[in-house]
Amino acid sequence: MSEAENLDRDEPISFGCPRMVGEARLPAYDRLRSEAPVYKDPLTGNYVLTRYKDVRSTLLNHRQFKTDAGLVGGNRKSPVKAEVEAIYLAKGPLPGRNLQTYDPPEHRQHRAPIDRAFDHWKLEALRGFIEEQANFLVDGFIERGEVEFVSEFTIPFPLRVFADQLGLGMEDASLLKLWADVGVEDIDPTLPPDRQVEAAHVMAGMNEYLQKAIANARAHPGDRLISKLVETIDPEGTQAGLIEIMAVLRAIIIAAGDTTTFGLGGGMRLLMGNPHLVPVIRDDRDKLLAFVEEALRIVSPLQTLFRCAAEDVAIGGVTIPKGAIIEARYGAGDLDPEVFPCPYQVDLERENVRSHVVFGVAPHICPGMLLARTEMEIAFKVMTQRMDNFRPARGADSYEYSTSYIAHGPVRAHIAFDRR
């Protein structure tokens, strides 16, 4: 049965509706893809794309679809814009333009230092450290035969790796989580003004913290990411350079936040639904890597980001007016049966297993994808080598999903297992 058949046909679809979150989006994607693949959302006014080919070609077409959709923090057109700016200015400079708001050729200039800094991440050398973190967390719950997987693994695991790689202390890992959560919420086009003000307080606090961390990295250079960003972006220590580094760090912290967490939690649920795959991915690394790709494709931790039409432009016969916001729904494109037959099935033999748009496409393709993939690979390796027979521990109440507009994945997952 198509997921679309689960949808209430009398109700117009809107992703701005508070109920249209988590897995409730899936039937809407299926229906829109076949009935209105370029759909004007009645609540947000945004144009929602659900076909793989439209999502992909829009992301690639940076001439007609600009990345700056005017939705990011201080950059937002909002009745509380002045108040938000004052909150930021009280704690440091106004946020610089986010990496994700530039288009080529300017984007290349801002992206290059990040690619260079990320190149310093010798992920192969890091694998041992990442595996240690996974084992450390598993040690904390393996005796119990049951775990709340999100708070005990999917959140702390990538955060511990990320805090270490940024050059921050483990004790600050929980701050990264808060900033990432609020940062993602702050991009929500439906965020009410009072919440925009609260978000500005949190994100201004992050800016204050980052200024100190950057000063510290400048005074004591090391091999971690903040030091590398100082070295590649602003060796002279200018105010413009400081703003640029802070903007990059903001982008990285937000982008790295829940994404891997949701990939891990959603992937575990898929594994529970396909128990025959546990020994397969345990014993065969190629299959494990394919499982990671399929989990990412089906879960799609980042459901959508936005583009802005630079001119009137037609997609699939629908004219999108200049200035309109487009939602390139990665999550819907990657479930397009035209490209991924039986899209909800985990198929480790899929020929195009890496063709998904989970990490976007050039030029904004995710610079953290290698880290995210490595973390997921190691997590599922450690899980399947040390445990077996994963199952929901509390029936239908075992899993609860995020209500984010943008992100998608479990925020609670009670899982039982057998120790091997």
Provide, rounded to whole angstroms, the least separation between the CB of residue 371 and ligand HEM: 5
Contact range with ligand HEM by CB under 6 A, out of 72-80, 191-199, 256-264, 270-278: 256-264
Out of 113, 301, 343, 409, the only residue in the binding site for ligand HEM (CB under 6 A) is 301
Q: Does 335 bind ligand HEM (CB under 6 A)?
A: no
Question: Which residues are CB-contacts of 273 (< 8 A; sequence separation ≥ 6)?
Answer: none
- The helix or strand, by DSSP H or E, that contains position 334, with its residue range, turns out to be none
Between CA 292 and CA 312 the distance in angstroms is 39
Site residues for ligand HEM, 277-296, by CB under 6 A, read 296
Q: If binding is defined by CB under 6 A, does position 55 make contact with ligand HEM? A: no
Residue 154 in contact with ligand HEM, rule: CB under 6 A: no
Cα–Cα distance measured from residue 88 to residue 347, given in angstroms and rounded to the nearest whole number: 47
DSSP label of 273: H
Do 248 and 98 contact (CB within 8 A), yes or no?
Answer: no
Q: Which residues contact 395 (CB under 8 A, 6 or more apart)?
A: none
Tell whether residue 329 is a contact of ligand HEM (CB under 6 A).
no
CA pair distance 302, 361, nearest whole angstrom: 13
31/179 with CB nearer ligand HEM:
179
Beta strands in 107-257 (DSSP E): 146-148
The yes or no reply on residue 360 touching ligand HEM (CB under 6 A) is yes
Binding window for ligand HEM (CB under 6 A); candidates: 79-87, 89-97, 286-294, 353-361: 353-361
Query: Side by side, which strands form the sheet with 47-49?
Result: 38-40, 47-49, 325-328, 305-309, 65-66
313-315 and 318-320: which strand pairing? antiparallel
How far is it, in rounded angstroms, from Cα 332 to Cα 48?
10
Report the distance separating Cα 349 and Cα 277, nearest Å: 12
CB of 391 to ligand HEM, least distance (A): 24
Q: By CB under 6 A, is residue 233 in contact with ligand HEM?
A: no
Give how many residues touch ligand HEM by CB under 6 A.
26
Distance CA 389, CA 417 (A): 5
Indicate whether 367 belongs to the interface with ligand HEM (CB under 6 A). Answer: yes
Interface with ligand HEM, residue 358, by CB under 6 A: yes
The residue among 179 and 330 lying less far from ligand HEM, judged by its C-beta, is: 330
42 cis-preceded (ω within 30 degrees of 0): no
100 binds ligand HEM (CB under 6 A): yes
**Residue nearest ligand HEM, Cβ-based:** 368
Q: Does 199 bind ligand HEM (CB under 6 A)?
A: no
267 binds ligand HEM (CB under 6 A): no
Query: Which CB sits closer to ligand HEM, 189 or 301?
Result: 301
SS3 302: strand
* 372 lies in the binding site for ligand HEM (CB under 6 A): yes
- Residues lying near ligand HEM in the complex (CB under 6 A): 59, 67, 99-100, 111, 251-252, 255-256, 259-260, 263, 296, 301-302, 305, 330, 358-360, 364, 366-368, 371-372
